Chain A
Amino acid sequence: MTEPEQKPKTLYDKLWQSHIVERQDDGNCLIYIDRQIIHEVTSPQAFEGLRQAGRQLANPEAMLAVPDHNVPTGADRATAINAEDSQIQLDALTKNCKEFGVEYIPMLDDRQGIVHIVGPEQGFTQPGMTIVCGDSHTSTHGAFGALAFGIGTSEVEHVMATQTLILKPQKNMRIDVDGRLGAGVTAKDIALAIIGHIGTAGGTGYVIEFTGSAIRDLSMEGRMTLCNMSIEAGARSGLVAPDQKTFDYVMGRTKSPKGAAFEQAVAYWKSLPSDEGALYDKEIFLRAKDIAPQVTWGTSPENVLPISGVVPDPNDVENPERKVAMQRALDYMGLTAGTKLQDISIERVFIGSCTNGRIEDIRAAAAIARGRTVHSDVAAWVVPGSGLVKLQAEEEGLDQILIDAGFEWREPGCSMCLAMNADKLGPRERCASTSNRNFEGRQGPKGRTHLMSPAMAAAAAITGRLTDVREL
């Protein structure tokens, strides 16, 4: 596990090198995987593969299972008749975990929630680890200084059977955000601004480390939001170096090391941040004060503008392919070039997802909702990211503030982030959403998604149109 070379290393170099089991001659490495989280949608075929080959789990203790994508989020979730095929996936997860000895958090448990919220909450996510899940937003866990990335089902099976993956090293990218964020500007806005800047393929082949005072100032929740969205910039993993905030967050959680073991772990975690003078393959510098609240107007997260902007005009674009893509996006979204973003009215609001379903996000929404009323043409949902987030919010009275304002307070799950169950947009319904993808049909066939922060989504719920939360 030790490396001979002594040149300064990045956080990513350290994580990568400390997990190499074997280097192959062709440049691929066998990489050890410390933790795997699984959910009901991308795991059944992996268990089936194991069963067919007569294979066992390499280390069941390194795994945690929780259903999230398909679970109903209405108040009657216990009895709700779930679509039959959803039920088959939920049952398969229960059965597979039992058969293979994997710890499983059932739907009606308070700890249930979205994989990427549950992992950190349970202390399953820790600095210095490699963490995988059959879900692209596994990048979220990079907020702890862990190398975390989404994998396909065949790789899920590979990790189950061997506790390793065959991988090639990625390139290092550093995105530095310096200075202080303005009022009403959040981690989500940083994430969207970065994607607008480098594009949805800008990070392909890279691991992005986020640095700078604006990143240090973010809470762990904010760092998770940022790393969560790094896949939307094409990067499989995002990273933030662990610091005291990280250690404080991890301390005392169910699966965190305790006592002397914790001290020993912290000593190791402190060695992880990038060394002075470490080299990156690419560096990008942004200033926090230049970032305004962002909203997307199209069908790719890179179709993003400050809320003060107007819907762009395909005729202003030179590249013929981009022109066509932009026109297609405008047609799908039902928007006309030149329309002020703030004049776009919405019918639905979704506050939740692994991007923005944590307690800080609910607090931000409640702060806007307090003493105000949801617009009469709008149906606004708040879906906590986990049962524990929900309980905490209820303890703080946030649920009541939101309910009084006319929001619907729901049970935890992925819900309308990907619309796998009844939680979805109708055709052409327009939604202010705190999730991460505005792809065609993502929130329901022909549904129209505008991505933004929880505060911005709550503001849109009140006014019934896209709104600059700073002017509310």
Chain B
Amino acid sequence: MDKFLKLRAIAAPLPMANIDTDMIIPQQHLKTIKRTGLGQFAFSNIRYHDDGSERADFVLNKPAYRQAQILVTGPNFGCGSSREHAPWALKDFGFKCVIAPSFADIFYGNCFKNGILPIILPQETIDLLLDDAGRGANAIITIDLENQEITGPDGGKISFDVDPYRRHCLLNGLDDIGLTLQKKDVIQNYEAKKRLSQPWLFKG
């Protein structure tokens, strides 16, 4: 996984509440066996007309936001289906950070696994960032994960919280599985005890 240290990028405003993962990546695009290539389908139902042409009024179709890497959005982002295709699609589009007042649990966890930083901030702060983001390509926002700080286009600073373990993994580009496999002994110990106390859970 790529390391996430500092990100200086354009932020796209999408101030809708309850954006579900069906909306982020509709089911007709789930028939893939790969993690990549989904960016073209991100938000496809609201991004394209029926004939496949772009909707001029959708934020990511505006020239100023085509290179956006930060998404500023509404509460309960990523609710619904657990499909990891949602963060895959966002990542493939180019997003590395999503900022919202709240996230659905499964989506929130899925972001970290893919090198995307989800940041939770109070609605008032989001409103300010939405204002900043509304200024298009002129509004470059900086995310400093090391110092847990966002710097707005006018130099204003906002600090944010993030789980220390997840921060550590992102900063170092660490793969969870590799880390857990180092604990094989502890896991086998647990399993051995369980075989005795709940033998019906195991075959042989």
Query: A residues within 8 Å of B by Cβ?
Result: 1, 21-22, 24, 26-28, 30, 32, 34, 41-42, 44-45, 48-49, 53, 55, 58, 61, 69-70, 83, 85-86, 88-89, 92, 126, 128-129, 134-136, 150-155, 157-158, 161-164, 166, 168, 200-201, 204-205, 234, 236, 257, 261-262, 264-265, 268, 300, 321-322, 325, 418-420, 427, 437, 439-442, 445
A208 to B22, CA, bound (A): 24
User: Across the interface, do A162 and B106 meet the contact criterion of CB distance under 8 Å?
Assistant: no
Whether A201 pairs with B83 at a CB distance below 8 angstroms is: no
**Bound complex: CA A164 to CA B114 (Å):** 19
Q: Is the CB of A24 within 8 A of B82?
A: no
Minimal Cβ-Cβ distance residue in A for B181 = A162
Binds A, one of B51-59, B64-72, B147-155, B182-190: B182-190
* Contact, CB under 8 Å: B191 / A163: yes
- Of the residues A136, A153, A155, contact of B80 by C-beta under 8 Å: A136
Interface residues on B, range: 35 or more
Contact A1 B197, CB 8 Å, known A88-B33, A154-B110, A166-B180: yes
Which residue, A49, A58, A162, A427, has most C-beta atoms of chain B within 10 A? Answer: A162
Q: Which of B31, B45, B180, B184 contacts A89 (CB 8 A)?
A: B31
How far, in whole Å, are A27 and B161 apart by their CA atoms in the complex? 15
Given the interface contacts A55-B177, A154-B114, does A420 sit within 8 Å of B28 by beta carbon?
Answer: yes
B9 contacts chain A at the CB level, 8 A cutoff: no
CB pair A419–B33 under 8 Å, yes or no, is no
Tell me, yes or no, whether B39 is within 8 Å of chain A by CB.
no
Contact B181 A21 (CB under 8 A): no
User: B199: nearest residue on chain A (CB-CB)?
Assistant: A261
Which 6 pairs across A and B sit closest by C-beta, in order of nearness?
A: A154-B113, A257-B200, A44-B33, A85-B31, A152-B110, A152-B84
Between A and B, 15 residue pairs with Cβ closer than 8 Å are A26-B165, A28-B163, A53-B177, A53-B178, A88-B31, A92-B33, A150-B82, A155-B109, A201-B104, A261-B200, A265-B200, A268-B198, A437-B22, A439-B22, A439-B80
Q: What's the count of A-B pairs with C-beta under 8 Å?
A: 181
In the complex, chain A residues whose CB is within 8 Å of the CB of B17:
321-322, 325
Contact B23 A440 (CB under 8 A): yes
Q: Is the CB of A42 within 8 A of B83?
A: yes
User: Chain B 87-111 against A: per-residue CB contact (8 Å), 1 yes, 0 no?
Assistant: 1000000000000001011100110
Task: Let me know if A162 and B163 touch, CB within 8 A.
Answer: no
Q: How many Å from the CB of A263 to the closest CB on chain B?
A: 10
Chain A nearest CB: distance from B111 CB in Å? 9
Cβ < 8 Å to A, chain B residues 26-64: 26-28, 30-35, 45, 50
Contact across chains for B74 and A321 when beta carbons are under 8 A apart: yes
In the complex, residue of chain B having the shortest beta-carbon distance to the beta carbon of A151: B82
Bound CA span A195–B156, Å: 39
Residue B7 at the chain A interface, CB threshold 8 Å: no
Q: Would A234 and B109 count as touching, CB distance under 8 A?
A: no
A235 nearest CB across to chain B (Å): 8
Chain A contacts for B190, CB-based, 8 A = 1, 21, 32
- CB contact between B105 and one of A44, A128, A236 (< 8 Å): that residue: A236
B26 partner residues in chain A, CB cutoff 8 A: 441, 445
Chain B residues with CB under 8 A of A134: 82, 84
B76 pairs with A200, CB closer than 8 A: yes
Residues of B within 8 A of A28 (CB): 163, 165
Q: Assuming the A-B contacts A134-B82, A262-B200, are A418 and B76 also in contact, with contact meaning beta carbons closer than 8 angstroms in the complex?
A: no
- Known A-B contacts A26-B165, A262-B200, A445-B45; the reply to A158 vs B176 at CB < 8 A is yes
**Cβ of B199 and Cβ of A32 under 8 Å apart?**
no
Closest to B114 in A: A154
In chain A, what residue has the closest Cβ to B111?
Answer: A152
Q: Given the known A-B contacts A32-B190, A161-B177, A166-B180, are A234 and B164 also in contact in the complex, defined by CB atoms under 8 Å?
A: no
Extra contacts besides A234-B104, A264-B199, A445-B26 (19): CB < 8 Å: A1-B197, A42-B82, A61-B202, A85-B32, A88-B31, A89-B31, A126-B201, A153-B35, A154-B176, A158-B177, A168-B163, A204-B102, A300-B18, A321-B74, A420-B27, A427-B50, A439-B23, A440-B45, A442-B22
- A262-B105 Cα distance, complex, nearest whole Å: 35
**The one of A45, A136, A439 that contacts B33, using a Cβ cutoff of 8 Å:** A45
Given A155-B109, A158-B180, A441-B45: A166 and B198 within 8 A (CB)? no
Q: Are A234 and B22 in contact (CB under 8 A)?
A: no
Contact indicator B183/A30 (Cβ below 8 Å): yes
Among B26, B33, B74, the one with the most A-chain Cβ atoms within 10 Å of its Cβ is: B33
- Say yes or no for B75: interface residue by CB 8 A criterion: yes
Quick one: closest A residue to B1, CB to CB?
A154
Q: A34 contacts which chain B residues (CB < 8 A)?
A: 201
Contact B186 A30 (CB under 8 A): yes
Q: Contacts A200-B79, A234-B76, A420-B31 given: A154-B180 contact, CB under 8 Å?
A: no
Q: Is the CB of B187 within 8 A of A48?
A: no
Set of chain B residues within 8 Å of A69, measured between Cβ atoms: 30
Q: Which residues of A contact B30 (CB under 8 A)?
A: 41, 69, 420
Contacts of B75 in A (CB 8 A): 201
> Nearest chain B CB to A260's CB is how many angstroms away?
9
Q: Does B16 contact A (CB under 8 A)?
A: yes
Closest partner residue, chain B, to A69 (CB atom): B30
**B residues in contact with A205, CB < 8 Å:** 105
